Amino acid sequence: MDRLVTVPLDSDGEAGAEEVSPPVAAQDVAAVEAARAGDRLAFAQLYRRFGPVVHGIVLARVPRTEVDDVVQEIFVQVLRALPTLRDATKFGGWIARLARNRALDHRRRVTAVSALPDDLLQSSPEQGRALFVLAKLRELPEAYRETLILRFVEGLTGPEIAERVGMTHGSVRVNLHRGMQMLRGKLEDGR
Amino acid sequence: MSHDEYLWSGQGEADPLLADLERTLGSLGFDGEPQLVDDLPRTGHGAGPTSRLRTWSWVGLGAAAAAMGLWWHLGGAGDPVVHRPRASAPVVPPVAAGNGEPGAARIGDANGSAIHGGPPVGIEPGPTDAPGSGPDRAVAPASHGEPDVRPARPEPKPRERAGLRPKAKSRPRPSSRSGGESGAAPATPESAPARPVEPRPSNPPAGAPDCAEHPGADLCPAGTETGEKLPFKLGEADAIEGLGPVLPEAQRCGRRHGAAPGTTVRVKLRVEGASGRVVRATAQSPHGGTPLGDCVAGALAGAQFRRFEYPSIGIVYPLKMAP
């Protein structure tokens, strides 16, 4: 990560309090435990809950047309590595870290290609606008673009991002705020 | 401050830009039904009613492995060098080991051709293989539930190892899918050579030297003459901006030449960094050399991109004809 801001902020009226990453929800802990024991339905539940997080993290680093494949690979890796996770409450940070590493590996493997993806600039103006904004978003520093993608593309709120990625509320809030400032400037410059 | 609150929690007064971003970017999000979960190997509990299909696919894999072992044991293609058993082949779940019988062979036959016809996994096709069965299948992309029969592949993909459905590639490769384009048939044979289209004269940015006519690093110190900070290469957003204005004209080519909606014409553009102009536009197969391909290439050749430091880059743009 370029900059992962960890300044505690007064996010919930607890100024000065030592911030720790919010723990994964109890139902997720139970699902992690069950998935570790081989319960596929529990793993499906984890897939639904953390799929957007993994998708957003990968989308921040990998060409969009390759994101789905990388996400699938990550969940296969999660299934294999799940027994090595000691503390189920740390699942969010664990899977986020795994997704980041996997996305970086993928980016290293794939050589730079100057071809545009197939669906770029399709006839739909909405799609074109979405891809344009995403391209601008991807020019931001890594920490900001990841958080903003989770917020706007995956539709998670700040507290949800903090919980599922294992970041503090303050970090997420700062990344959202500063990232949004930079994105606003880029969009104004671009038009 | 309320905008910050909306950014944080999605509640409160929404900044118009934030609402627009949510609406615009939301279409690119995760659409995830856990399509892989039903195919994952079970590590704990016994088989449930929803896993029968997966079980049968393991049976098919087991039968394929058994057939491969038998084939190897009986001498196979006759070349001892290529008969080295692979480390990944014997990895078969217990459920398949007991069911690799005639019934399972039928399943394996339906799911993949590793039992009959094509060569077994990881083994070069021998001289006794039926003509056309081996090499043709070897280059074809793996289809649903089909064991990978490509001979030189060192290790299956993680998704295949885990027994997952291979997903369709999101980006078709033009070299292996000549028939992948939908819509109108080309007016000339596919083998017709693509004719590069001379770009139309376009106005270079104000103050920029015409580097298309005067190439050379000394004459075109990109950006230095104006003190402009140029990007090293074009990004996606730059490409979108550059191509956007010429797309309507390119779309008109489809109507003019009777191309069916959905027809995709791939055009390779060579963009010069010093001027941001297209110096070469070539329609690619199967539309290379066709009137449609030339028309689209001609339209896209008028695109004007922002300037960049790198001498020139190639962009392959697949234009999909609108309905």
Complex confidence, ipTM: 0.78
- Do B38 and A40 make contact, defined as CB atoms within 8 angstroms? yes
**Model pLDDT, residue B241:** 80
B238 falls in which pLDDT band (50, 70, 90)? confident
- Do B239 and A120 make contact, defined as CB atoms within 8 angstroms? yes
**pTM for the structure as a whole:** 0.50
Give the per-residue SS3 of chain A.
CCCCCCCCCCCCCCCCCCCCCCCCCHHHHHHHHHHHCCCHHHHHHHHHHHHHHHHHHHHCCCCHHHHHHHHHHHHHHHHHHHHHCCCHHHHHHHHHHHHHHHHHHHHHHCCCCCCCCCCCCCCCHHHHHHHHHHHHHCCCCHHHHHHHHHHHHCCCCHHHHHHHHCCCHHHHHHHHHHHHHHHHHHHHHHC
Residues in chain A closer than 8 A to B161 (CB atoms):
76
Distance from CA of A91 to the nearest CA of B (A): 18
- Find out whether the peptide bond into B80 is cis, omega within 30 degrees of 0: no
**Model pLDDT, residue B272:** 86
Segment B251-276, tens digit of pLDDT: 889 889 988 888 888 888 888 888 88
B74 falls in which pLDDT band (50, 70, 90)? low
Q: Which residue has the higher pLDDT, B96 or B3?
A: B3
Q: Which of B123, B115, B11 is nearest to B63 (CA)?
A: B115
**Model pLDDT, residue A47:** 93
To the nearest 10 degrees (0 to 180), the angle between helices B2-9 and A169-190 is: 110
Helix (H, G, I), strand (E, B) or coil at B107: helix
- Do B162 and A79 make contact, defined as CB atoms within 8 angstroms? yes
Query: Mean pLDDT over all residues of chain A?
Result: 81
Segment A46-73, tens digit of pLDDT: 999 999 999 999 999 988 878 888 999 9
The answer to whether residue B242 scores a pLDDT higher than 60 is: yes
- Do A152 and B30 make contact, defined as CB atoms within 8 angstroms? no
**Model pLDDT, residue A186:** 87
Query: In sequence order, which residues have a C-beta less than 8 Å from that of residue A176 and are 6 or more positions away?
Result: A147, A148, A151, A158, B7, B8
With CA atoms as reference, the chain A residue closest to B31 would be: A52
A187 falls in which pLDDT band (50, 70, 90)? confident
The answer to whether residue A13 scores a pLDDT higher than 70 is: no
**Model pLDDT, residue B251:** 87
- Do B8 and A47 make contact, defined as CB atoms within 8 angstroms? no
Average pLDDT over residues A167-181: 94
- Do A75 and B36 make contact, defined as CB atoms within 8 angstroms? yes
The answer to whether residue B93 scores a pLDDT higher than 60 is: no
**Model pLDDT, residue B315:** 82
- Is B314 an interface residue toward A (CB < 8 Å)? yes
The answer to whether residue B84 scores a pLDDT higher than 90 is: no
Q: Per mean pLDDT, which range of A170-179, B48-57, B248-257 is the poorest? A: B48-57
A110/A65 Cα distance (integer angstroms): 13
- Do A190 and B24 make contact, defined as CB atoms within 8 angstroms? no
**Model pLDDT, residue A182:** 94
**Model pLDDT, residue B40:** 45
Q: Which of B47, B35, B44, B165 is nearest to A35 (CA)?
A: B44
Q: Per mean pLDDT, which range of A128-142, B51-65, B186-200, B287-301 is the poorest? A: B186-200
**Model pLDDT, residue B225:** 54
**Model pLDDT, residue A144:** 95
Residues in chain B closer than 8 A to A99 (CB atoms):
none
B15 falls in which pLDDT band (50, 70, 90)? confident
**Model pLDDT, residue B174:** 39
**Model pLDDT, residue A56:** 95
Segment B140-152, tens digit of pLDDT: 333 333 333 333 4
Segment A21-49, tens digit of pLDDT: 666 778 889 999 999 888 889 999 999 99
Nearest to B318 among A68, A80, A118 (CB): A118
End-to-end CA, chain B? 45
Mutate to test the interface with B, among A114, A145, A172, A184 (most CBs of B within 10 A): A114
Average pLDDT over residues B236-240: 78
**Model pLDDT, residue B240:** 78
